[in-house]
Structures are given as C-alpha cells and as structure tokens.
Amino acid sequence: MAGENVNVVFKLYCLTVMTLVAAAYTVALRYTRTISTGDMYFSTTAVCVTEVIKLILSLGMLSKETGSFTRLKSAIKEHIFFSPKELLKLSVPSVVYAIQNNMAFVALSNLDAAVYQVTYQLKIPCTALCMVLMLNRSLSRLQWFSVFMLCGGVTLVQWKPAEATKVQVEQNPVQGFMAIAIAVLCSGFAGVYFEKVLKSSDTSLWVRNIQMYLSGIVVTLIGVYATDGESVLEKGFFFGYTPWVCFVVFLASVGGLYTSVVVKYTDNIMKGFSAAAAIVLSTVASVLLFGLQITITFAGGALLVCVSIYLYGLPKQDTSSVGLKNMEKESKQKLVTV
Ligand code: NCC
C-alpha cells in the first residue's frame, strides 16, 4: 500500500516536472530563435547534442539500475552489441522524433510561443487515433468526445494574446503551421510506437532509451550534415551557443527523459490528460502563491479540462454499432437456448 502511494506521488512528480519543463522549453527556444541577440546557432546541432546528453544520462540511470559495472557491461553487450534487430526497431521512433524535434525549431522560429502551444494540442486526438490503430485500444464515443473536449480545454487554458516583444528575424507563419502539422503527426506516431515496444517486453526503459538515442545521434548528425553541413564546417559545431542555447538543450534533454518515464508508468493518452491537469494546477498554484489573475478563457478552459478528465475516466459503456450488434447476437442466442 505504502509502495502504491509512493508510486502515485512519483507519477505526479514526473508529470508535473515534464509539463513545467515543456512550458519553459517552448518559451526559451522561442527566445533563442527570435529575440536573443548575437550570432544564430544551428538548430540541427542543438537537436543532436540533446540526443548525446540523453544517451549519457540514460547510461548513468542504467548503471544505477544494474548496480555494478560488470552487470552494466553485460547489459550493454547483450542489448546493444548483440541486438542489431532491436536497434533497428528503435531507429524508427528515433528518426520520427528527430524530424519532430527539428520541426519544433522551425515552428518556433516562425510562430509565437502561445500560438505554437495552442496549435500543438492537436497532438492529443492524433495520439488517441494512433493508440487505436497501433495498439488495438478501443475508445468509447464518450472517451473520443472527452479527448476533443480536452484538446479544446487546453487550447483555452493556454490562450494568451500574441507577444508584444519585437522579434529580430523574419517570420513565415505558413512554414510555422506546416512544421506544427508534421510535429503533431510525428509526436502521435513515435510516442505510441515507443510505448508499444517498451511494453511488449521486460527490457528496461533505460536500455530502450539507449537503443533509441544511439540511432538518434546518427540520424540527427545526418540532419546537421544535410542542412547546415557547409556552414558548420566553416563556423564550427557550437557556433552561436550562448548560455540560453545551453539552457534550451538542457531542458530538451531533461524533458525527453521525463517523457519516457511518464510513458512507462502511464500511457500516451494519460500523458496528454495529466499534462493538461498539471497546467491547470500549476496556474491555480500561481494564483494562490503569487496572486496571478485568472482570465475568463483560463477559467472556461480549466472547466473543460476537468470535465473531460472526469468523462474519460467513466466506466466504458459500449454503445458503438459493433457493441449493439454483439448485444443483439447474445440476446438471440439466449432465446435459442431457452
Ligand atoms: O511532443 P511530445 O512531448 O510527445 O514529444 C516527446 C519528446 O520526448 C522525447 N523522448 C520521447 C521518448 C523517449 N523515450 N525519449 C525522449 O527523449 C522526444 O525526443 C521528444 O522530444 C508533450 O507531450 O507535449 C511533450 O512535448 C515536448 C515538447 O514540448 C514538444 O515536443 C514541443 O517541441 C516536451 N519536451 C520537452 O519539454 C523537451 C515533452 O516533455 C512533452
């Protein structure tokens, strides 16, 4: 019982950190791409460095999990050097995440952070669709309704007037929205694919992460070469890296690892619901602690988020046409037996 409680607290902690980091990441990334002065860094290198840091941190976590250097060595041998098939399997989400992570930079170079956050919420129904198609999960009509209600609720909760600060670079909103559309599809697919691989065996989360980040490094390096190859050779890999850029890379690394832990202990749809709840709760906490003023859109959005969470959690009643046909069949069979 005590263990279960610790688990719930731990899950809540991971969800809250993940959500807060994601919010800080979006704002900091936008700042480094549009407002911060100085030489512009190569976003492709930032995505690549993030994969390297996540790999190092996951190796650290695996060594903690295995408990001794000898066991760590044999785990690496078994799961990395002698498992080319598994590495190949994990290279699928790593390619898709590499595209998604690069798209975040394109989108936030061209769109206001609030507009980005709001539009990005389309990932919630997209993820639900991927879970139905790829994991054979079924959602009742009410649950689908609550998924869209959540999407609307988070949109309202995060609704803010466009930023007043003058940006220093030219922006192309069409390009920004296209980047978000690609990121939404990638987020849904890669998240569910990773969850499927993770939960279909007993292999440790940290092993799965290491397998994914290894190919992630290769893929993102190809991205650096293909997009900024010549300029990187001329100016250097870390050209334009300021403390702010390092902060963005740090947040991306920590956020990625927390995301993986959240997916392990819950699932991708729960991740969406809980992240929404964390946004609402952290704003309410800011109201209580710092006297932040709540807007009408926030209040409406928060209400939608709460109702959608309640509706999603209601016991499933199969009202789909398949369900009704099954019920009809069952009652006919009963009649025949009688
Ligand atoms: O879009 P989202 O996540 O699903 O993206 C998942 C991010 O986590 C990394 N990841 C995933 C699985 C895994 N085993 N290891 C990982 O490192 C992926 O590389 C990808 O970056 C969300 O649900 O809204 C969330 O959003 C991101 C981020 O805000 C958006 O992608 C916008 O760019 C958050 N990432 C960060 O804050 C850094 C994530 O925590 C939550």
DSSP 30-69: HHHHHTS-SPPPPHHHHHHHHHHHHHHHHHHHHHHHH-SH
pLDDT at residue number 167: 66
287 or 179: which leads in pLDDT: 179
Q: Which of 37-46, 167-176, 273-282, 314-323 has the lowest mean pLDDT?
A: 314-323
Q: Is the pLDDT of residue 70 over 90?
A: yes
- Kindly give the distance from the C-alpha atom of residue 1 to the centroid of ligand 1, in angstroms, as a whole number: 31
Q: Which of 36-45, 155-164, 293-302, 323-332 has the lowest mean pLDDT?
A: 323-332
101 Cβ below 6 A of ligand 1: yes
Which residue's alpha carbon is at the smallest distance from atom 2 of ligand 1?
A: 187
Rounded to an integer, the average pLDDT of 306-324 is: 67
Q: Is the pLDDT of residue 333 over 90?
A: no
Q: Which residue has the tokens 């959608």?
A: 308
Rounded to an integer, the average pLDDT of 20-48 is: 88
Q: Is the pLDDT of residue 325 over 70?
A: no
Percentage, residues of the chain above pLDDT 70: 88
Rounded to an integer, the average pLDDT of 185-213 is: 96
* pLDDT tens digit sequence for 145-190: 999 998 898 888 877 766 556 666 678 889 999 999 999 999 999 9
Rounded to an integer, the average pLDDT of 267-276 is: 83
Cα–Cα dist 271/194, whole Å: 14
Domain ranges of the chain: 2-315
Residue 317 confidence class, pLDDT cut points 50, 70, 90: low
Rounded to the nearest 10 degrees, what angle do helices 268-290 and 123-135 cross at?
Answer: 150
**Residue 209 tokens, joined:** 């992460």
**Residue 10 tokens, joined:** 């731990």
Q: Is the pLDDT of residue 130 over 60?
A: yes
Percentage, residues of the chain above pLDDT 90: 54
State the pTM of this model. 0.86
105 Cβ below 6 A of ligand 1: no
- Kindly give the distance from the C-alpha atom of residue 74 to the centroid of ligand 1, in angstroms, as a whole number: 30
Pick from 123-137, 155-169, 207-221, 305-319 the range whose average pLDDT is largest. 207-221
- What atom of ligand 1 comes closest to residue 216's alpha carbon? 19
Which residue's alpha carbon is at the smallest distance from atom 25 of ligand 1?
A: 22
- What atom of ligand 1 comes closest to residue 51's alpha carbon? 17
* CB within 8 Å of 111: residues ≥ 6 apart: 119, 171, 173, 176, 177, 180
DSSP summary character for residue 168? S
Residue 195 confidence class, pLDDT cut points 50, 70, 90: very high
58 Cβ below 6 A of ligand 1: no
Q: Is the pLDDT of residue 319 over 60?
A: no
- What atom of ligand 1 comes closest to residue 123's alpha carbon? 1
Residue 52 confidence class, pLDDT cut points 50, 70, 90: very high
Rounded to an integer, the average pLDDT of 228-251 is: 96
